[in-house]
Structure 1
Amino acid sequence: MNEIKTRLIDLIKEGKWKALKKEVGRIEPYDVAELLEELAERDKIIIFRLLDNEQTKDVFKRLSQDKRQEIIEGLAENASKIARLLNDIEPDDRTAFLAELPGEVAQKLIQYLSPEQRAITNQLLGYPKDSIGRLMTTEYVAVQPEFTVIDTFQHIRQYGHDSETLNVIYIVDENWKLLDDLRIKELLLADPNQAVNNLINHQFVALNATDDQEEAIKMFKNYDRVALPVVSEEGVLIGIVTFDDIMDIADAESSEDFHKFGAMQSSVTNPLKARIFDLYKNRVFWLLALVFMNLFSGAVLESFENVIQSVVALVFFLPLLIDSGGNAGSQTATLMIRSLAMGDVKMSDWYKLIGKELVVSLFLGLTMAAGVALVASFRAPEVIVVVALTMTLTVLMGSTVGLLLPFVFTKLKLDPATASAPLITSIADISGVIIYFSIASWYFGF
């Protein structure tokens, strides 16, 4: 890639535009997009101008939001290029791009659209932010049930050029109500003179335009489809969602959950490109909140000051014991958050899981207790019982908290990923300190 980048920059410096256009035309759209992410603003605009219409569309949708905005701003004096680009890209990609722009900028760009594309864009932008309506495209092929297989293929040849996918053909009645969907394989293997109506069984899976985008992820996972139809409340076909769009959303959801689990705001993307203040702002709230939360640990330690002074060896094992509880809780929370997000576990399953988790965490705690007891036998034999009991109980407690918090947040209509690792760790730390020194006070008779 570096070799290609150097060659393109050299051609730009030498002003060899025909050779540059020919060279760029041989590169895959994905690789062109990767190059544009790295090039200086002037160079990326030059290369983008030399792309043909099909390349322009394919490259633009693969760029990050920031680079898309830079491209549009760089083409400001070339209204025809902007208009052609915005009209050619798929409606769902265009909607995703416009939705992230400031309102006045988006409205200005919408004016470049044809009346038909403008109406489609305004319709898609009218759906809630994270709904399937924002994600769908209106470019698909639909036929009526009385069409023969021959008629259907003729219709595909006439109207399928702009369709986002031809793997699935949709069957609708005269009111555009969805009757079924057919994979292209079924049509290819059917009798050419057979009516489409004889191929359908009315057993299709569809999404609702107002559903959350996470619902689409689950549906694609459960039904193994390359595309799913989107219908209105009345069952009217209004668009489709394709697998590649779902992959983008799944990646975004995973990144969002990862940031939340780390107690960061989801707006942090690439730390190399993010501003210092944005990185600071997105991390400071939770960390500051947890500082005050952890003051409880200090207060607990202060209340057990006499125990600590009498058995100094207890301090040596304190970090190890409370960290073990937090680590166990984070492990369990990660598993539960993923299972809830993927639909493998439902809210009503919590009571089934709690018993199983208690048994598992008990075995884990006993195993880890044996390990810490072995260390204590060399370092401070007098605290073996205390550290072993504490290890068992902190692992049990941490795992229980890690399991229950995602369910609690889900019940409160909050994202379960908000049950983040720092929160679980802080709860485990405070509880671990209380458990540790309470057992020590009991055991040593304070």
Structure 2
Amino acid sequence: MKRNKFASHAPEPRPTIPETLVDVVSLGTPRALSLWLADVDHDLMGNQVDDLTDEQAERLTELLTPASARELLESIDAYQSYTFLKKLPLPVAAGLLDTLDVDEAAQVIEFMDDGDRQSVLRAMEFSRSALVRGLLAWPDDSAASRMRPTLLQVGIDSTMADAVAAARRNPQLLEEGVFVTERTPQGDVGLGWLSHDAMVLARRADLVRDHMVPADRLQQWSVKPLADQERVIHRVRARDSEVVPVMDGKYILGVITMDSVDEILREETTEDVEMMGGSAPLEIPYYQATPLLLWSKRIVWLLVLFLASMYTSNVMQSFEDVLASATALAFFIPLLIGTGGNVGTQITTTLIRAIAADGLRLSDVGAVLWKEFRTGLLVALTMAVAGLVRAWTLGVGWPITITVIISLAAIVMWSSLVASILPLILKRMKLDPAVVSAPMISTIVDGTGLLIYFMVARAIIPGL
């Protein structure tokens, strides 16, 4: 029987995708690794890398190509990359680091101790090692420590055709655009910048100088090398830019890419959240932290807050006679100090976010106080009504009811004032405003709120 040439062929079986990186190592084929990289959720990738034993990690490196090594290390955070490379011989670790961009490699190496750091740097390709050493020399959390020092550059007298040719020779640098520079013995002078739109739309015969963003505008959206890395976020939001140049005067040192901006934003957000909870930043993933490390990060703040709250006991002791004469006052102490702390926490959380996202400064304190004063009045009136209802349901009598109403309104206004000013003052003092965290505000307001409460009670209740 003659075979029908149009008959459909049976479909090839779909390749089995390894579920874990351990399965990839067991299969031992680059194809298995490629399927896993394409399928695995990036949020799970770091955990699976951490699950590898030293032997499995070494076997995995035999399957890696420069492209897949870069994809793997870029998909996990710097600390996870460090723990993975720590399982490997130093020359192998150095080779994998050479697949990363210089700024990303520097972030990983920063976790190493001095001995391993120097050994890895010596094993890396010399020119890349020199760039990494330069980045590591900048202070932690400075803008320059997060920059990429390699730029796509053309001269001021170049044509757009020259710029396109340079981009084709170095496509990995095109993400940041093209910087127009002049090389001098002191460094590269930034003369301008070419956007991707200019590269595409301009005629090839046109001069670069006719399409570049000029130097004065370039400096307006740049940051200084020693600026806090949080400043980079403000620059990106102010200009809606995908890159931020790092410039020392007229000299351009490097550029901070959007990947680094996203990483800075995650770090700053995590740090603020941890400090607002009364704990020092971990700086490593939580699941990597030991109980001893968690204790060391938390205990200092707990002791500071413990000492700060001691004056609350002193206030209670000083007004012992007031409580003895009107025991019903004690019913409302948790309500009053809890409300004051909650009001302060709400305001500091909002202001810390505004400082980070909108660049709120001490010079804005007048507008902040006026806004929060009006808001505080509305909150105080609402809470006073709630306090009236609560006092009425307990049947404590009008003198104590009036004391609770006035105290509650006064504590709300006082908490609003403290919480509105402290974050801005700390920012001005170059301290992290997140230290005015929920526990700290509550501690401050607790004692002062009790003082307000008892002083109002003495003024209103007869015989105290």
- Which TM-score applies when normalising by structure 2? 0.87
Q: Is residue 369 of structure 2 the alignment partner of residue 342 of structure 1?
A: no
For 2:420, the equivalent position in structure 1 comes to 403
Q: Give the distance between the partners of 1:302 and 1:31, measured in 2 at CA.
A: 53
Residues 10-49 of structure 1 mapped to structure 2, 5 A cutoff: 10=23, 12-13=25-26, 15-17=27-29, 20-24=32-36, 26-27=38-39, 30=42, 33-34=45-46, 36-37=48-49, 39-42=51-54, 43-49=56-62
Is residue 260–residue 417 contact of structure 1 (8 Å, CA) maintained in 2?
Answer: yes
Q: Distance in 2 between matches of 1:335 and 1:308?
A: 36
Look up the equivalent residue of 1:261 and give its one-letter code. M
After the TM superposition, which residues 151-162 of structure 1 pair with which residues of structure 2 at under 5 Å, given as runs?
151-158=162-169, 160-162=170-172
Partners of 2:430 and 2:244 in 1: how far apart? 27
**CA distance in 2: counterparts of 1:63 and 1:18, whole angstroms:** 19
**Which position in structure 1 is the counterpart of 2:377?**
362
Aligned mates of 2:448, 2:22 — CA distance in 1: 60
2:425 partner letter: V
Instruction: Provide the secondary structure at the position in 1 that maps to 2:385.
Output: helix
Matched AA of 2:181:
V
- Number of the residue aligned with 1:129: 140
CA shift at 1:16, angstroms? 4.8
Task: Tell me if the contact between 2:149 and 2:255 (Cα under 8 Å) persists in the aligned partners.
Answer: yes
Aligned residue among 435, 443, 450 for 1:418: 435
Residue 232 (str. 1) matches residue 248 (str. 2) = yes
CA shift, 1:28, in A, is: 6.3
2:154 pairs with 1:146: no
Question: How many residues get paired?
Answer: 438
Equivalence for 1:183:
195
Tell me the CA shift for residue 44 of structure 1. 4.7
Q: 2:252, 2:24 → 1: CA distance?
A: 49
1:303-342 deviations in whole A, cap 9, x for unaligned?
Answer: 2223223322222211011110011111111122222233
Q: Which residue of 1 aligns with 2:6?
A: none
Residues 240/351 of structure 1: CA separation in 2 closer, same or farther (3 Å cut): same
Percent identity reads 24
What do the CA deviations read for 1:386-415 (whole angstroms, capped 9, x no partner)?
A: 111111011111111111111232233322
Residues 1:270 and 1:96: Cα distance change in structure 2 (over 3 Å): closer
> CA contact under 8 A between 2:224 and 2:248: conserved in structure 1?
yes
**Map of 2:269 onto structure 1:** 254
TM-score, structure 1 as length reference: 0.91
Deviation at 1:34, TM superposition (A): 3.5
Match of 2:12 in 1: none
Output the amino acid matched with 1:334.
Answer: T
Deviation, 1:434, is 1.1
Aligned counterparts of 2:121 and 2:312: Cα–Cα separation in 1:
56
Q: Distance in 1 between matches of 2:197 and 2:406?
A: 63
User: Do the aligned partners of residues 39 and 341 (structure 1) sit closer, same or farther apart at CA in structure 2, a change above 3 Å counting?
Assistant: same
Amino acid in structure 2 at the alignment position of 1:433: L
Indicate conservation of the 8 Å contact 1:45/1:71, yes or no. no
Which residue pairs with 2:131 in the alignment? Answer: 120
The 5-angstrom pairing of residues 7-406 of structure 1 reads: 8-10=21-23, 12-13=25-26, 15-17=27-29, 20-24=32-36, 26-27=38-39, 30=42, 33-34=45-46, 36-37=48-49, 39-42=51-54, 43-76=56-89, 79=91, 81-158=92-169, 160-163=170-173, 165-166=174-175, 168-175=177-184, 176-202=188-214, 203-204=217-218, 205-233=221-249, 235-267=250-282, 269-382=284-397, 383-406=400-423
Are the counterparts in 2 of residues 41 and 70 from structure 1 also a CA contact under 8 Å?
no
The unaligned stretches of length 5 or more in structure 2 are 1-15
2:82 and 2:109 in contact (8 A); partners too: no
- 1:417–1:24: structure 2 CA closer, same or farther, 3 Å change rule? same
The verdict on how the C-alpha distance between 1:25 and 1:346 changes in structure 2, with shifts beyond 3 A counting, is closer
Extract unaligned runs of 5+ from structure 1. Answer: none
State the secondary structure of the residue aligned to 2:86.
Answer: helix
**Which stretch of structure 1 is more off in the superposition, 434-443 or 20-29?**
20-29
Secondary structure at the aligned position of 1:211 is classed as: coil
CA root-mean-square deviation? 2.4
Larger mean CA deviation between 361-370 and 166-175 belongs to 166-175
